Amino acid sequence: MSAQEQAGPQDSKDKEGKKCAAKNGKLAGLEGDVDLQFLLNGGELTKVKSDSWQKKRFFKLQEDFETMWHDSEKIFRKNNTFSLNDIDSVRQGRGSESLQKYTDDSLEERCFSIIFKGKRKNLDLMASSPEEAKQWVVGLEKVLTHMSNLNSQQKSEHWIISCMRKADKNGDNMMTLKELKRFLQQINIEVDDTYAAMLFQKCDTSKSGTLEGDEIKKFYELLTNREEINVIYGKYAETNGQMSANNVLSFLKTEQKESVSLEDAVKLIEKYEPDEAARQSKNMTKDGFLRYLTHTEGSIINPAHRQVYQDMSQPINHYFISSSHNTYLMEDQLKGPSSTEAYIRALLKGCRCVELDIWDGPNGEPVIYHGHTLTSKVLFRDVIKAIKDYAFKSSEYPVILSLENHCCLEQQKLMAHHMISILGSALLVQPLGNEMPTALPSPEQLKGRILVKGKRLNKLDAAFNNNNTVEEDVVSEDDEAAEAKETDPKAKSTKSKIRLAKELSDLVIYCKSVHFSGFEHAKEKQSFYEMASFKESKAKQLADNSASAFVRHNMEKLSRIYPAGSRTDSSNYNPVPMWNAGCQIVALNFQTSCKKMNLNQGRFLPNGQCGYILKPQFMRTPGSQFDPNNLTAGPWLQRKILHVMVISAQQLPKLNKDKPTSIVDPYVRVEIYGVPADTASAQTPHINNNGFNPTWNMNFEFTVNVPELAIVRFLVQDYDAASANDFIGQYTLPLTSMQFGYRHIPLLTQNGDVISSAGLFVHVMAIDA
């Protein structure tokens, strides 16, 4: 066989790859882009793991635009690729712990890191020049941005085409019946052989025994046809089989309950209608209608709530504040690693209150770790540097550093020095204004500022009257710091005293830690800038038995709630009862993916995910008698009947990727969280062997008494008769941020990352009871 003949199949595969790259480039809006071409050509990068392990590897973007390939010395390594969907972000410079530890300062501009979602370790890389590093970062960010901007319909198309390519084992761009069956299993549908053969014969119009070109297109159309959309569209397409602007307006008003004009309907047609002729006639085809439904305006969350939309000029104690506990930990609190990366991840998720457990370290340098355990240690100054770099990347509103101080005087002075020298003008070292305030400032006034929460030796007035005398340099330990000693066999007393350095004390302005001695005592003796921390059990007891008093206490003061020390696995408590009692700083273990973290993410999803949510008016008005446990008449009682119809799901992920024949049996559970009277749930039956397009058309009805505190969670699970049901995806949001009518719901992993192309389709309506 001649070399030319031998090259034939490979040439055809290369041509097909180029064709695929061109198609995907067009889909992503990056046709002919220089940075994209750079990624497709690939290049050599140094992978950094330690001082001694720094090896060159060739990296390259695959033509599917979804996969990065790299070479490896591991002979038995099956898969040298990772999906772009698994990338959380690309970080330029020596922004990761490993690069700071194992590379020199002079290499700053040649380094970058690929940060993965979930628990996967960062990929730390070094290019041969600053220009090349920049091109890798720019190129990757471009592709990630364009892919995330696709609507769910485009993502779905991209995903199906990518699965088809995987099923086409010999790469000849034709599909045999065997490949068709493999493809159906890959996209999570189990069909019997007769149905598969019937589908195949229906599309194989050339009777060649393979599907190709238009036949594959026909098969794709049959597969992605959504009957539920046809029914809705058919009802409103009254103008020669299409929806006119008036028909669109009628749909928006009748079904979506939107207050819109004819002009708004025309704008939607101009934005989403792909057919030029229909667009010119101001008509919307079924394709345009589906595009609208799968884009921002058709999503479950109100688009206006994706930005900061709330009044940010109220005192900060009038807001729920996204807060983290043991922020330094990546895993459990017995032996897990401590890392600056954990702070970066929490801050980038909109967390606005982080915790620092500080202990005496070697060489006079304070360290952060979970005392009396095997968790690794990280330098205090490295954590402060990370906070300076990432505090305001995802939100411009204030960050609170909750200090749990166990250090000697000398190391406390160094802590103060590090905070002042590293954080600079961002660190709040003086109350705002020229005279002693009487209330806490607002998030708006504190934009870009970092506040310290901890013990203070004297009253805040001292900052104004040049009274530098210190009442005494000994203070009782914070409740949480004292509790940490309970596990220490050498500790003599849980309510021990510690010496406090004046330099550190002076940095505590609006968040002075004090012990809680009851609501009456707090009302008479506690200043507005003094705040207590409550262990979850104590907070729950108060929320259960004195909720109304707790709500009123939190109208004037800040409260911080933290998990019990017995949660050695870093599990979380339910934050909802604490929010119901008006507690602002409800600290959770951000490193633990669970239902409680889903609720936290849902609570802080609106208002631009800025980490601050304004509490309802009835939790801010003095004299309010609101009690979440005993609902009486009042402005909080706005009873609604919430109707949820779970219609269908699209392209749910396979859970067992190693077993091609394993198909999910999905069901959907709708859960309501809020005041005890509103807590409820209901679920659909499961559907056997269909994760691609399961349909339920099932109605649920819930009574919601206090909608302003209600959170709705949509959970999709894989039914299993013999063992626990497996988690597939979820989405959580406040009831007040929901759009009504026919809505698509994106699905997130337990960790809160979007599952590309998967979603739920529902109809939601809330009417006054």
Give the residue numbers of the binding site for substrate: 47-74, 453, 455, 533, 560
Contacts of residue 131, defined as CB under 8 A and 6 or more positions apart, other chains included, come to: none
* Two tokens, residue 732: 């959580």
Contacts 24+ apart (CB under 8 A), 245-252: 245/269, 245/282, 245/283, 247/284, 248/284
Q: Measure the CA–CA gap between 107 and 394, rounded to whole angstroms.
A: 27
Contact 134, 35 (CB under 8 A): no
Instruction: Give me the residue label for tokens 């915790």.
Output: 355
Q: Report the C-alpha gap between 114 and 121 in whole angstroms.
A: 9
The residues with which 358 forms a beta bridge, in sequence order, are: 368, 405
CA distance 533 to 400: 14
- Active-site residue identified among 146, 295, 318, 325: 325
Active site residue 417: no
Q: Which residues are annotated as a binding site for Ca(2+)?
A: 326, 355, 357, 404, 663, 665, 689, 718-720
Helix (H, G, I), strand (E, B) or coil at 166: helix
Contacts of 276 (CB under 8 A, 6+ apart): none
Q: How far apart are CA 326 and CA 553, in angstroms?
A: 26
Q: Which residue type does 607 have?
A: N
Q: What whole-number distance in Å separates Cα of residue 509 and Cα of residue 530? A: 9
CA distance 91 to 125: 10
Coil, strand, or helix at residue 113? Answer: strand
Q: Tokens 């809705």 correspond to what residue? A: 232
Q: Residue 219: which H helix or E strand, with range?
A: helix 214-224
**Residue 686 appears among annotated catalytic residues:** no
Distance, first Cα to last Cα, the chain: 80
How far lies 621's CA from each of 5, 73, 624, in Å?
A: 83, 66, 6
The answer to whether the beta carbons of residues 203 and 197 sit under 8 Å apart is no
* Rounded Cα distance, 94 and 87, in Å: 18
Residues making up the annotated binding site are 47-74, 326, 355, 357, 404, 453, 455, 533, 560, 663, 665, 689, 718-720
What's the rounded Cα separation, in Å, for the pair 762 and 646? 5
Strands 399-405, 353-359: pairing kind = parallel
Burial category of 306 from C-beta neighbours within 10 Å (exposed 0-12, middle 13-18, buried 19 and up): middle
Q: Do residues 697 and 639 make contact, with C-beta atoms less than 8 angstroms apart?
A: no
* H-assigned helices in 554-604: 576-580, 595-603
Work out whether the CA dihedral 499, 503, 506, 511 comes out positive or negative.
Answer: negative
Outline where 443-531 has alpha helix (H): 479-486, 502-505, 519-525
Overall size of the chain counted in residues: 769
- Among all residues, which ones are annotated catalytic? 325, 370
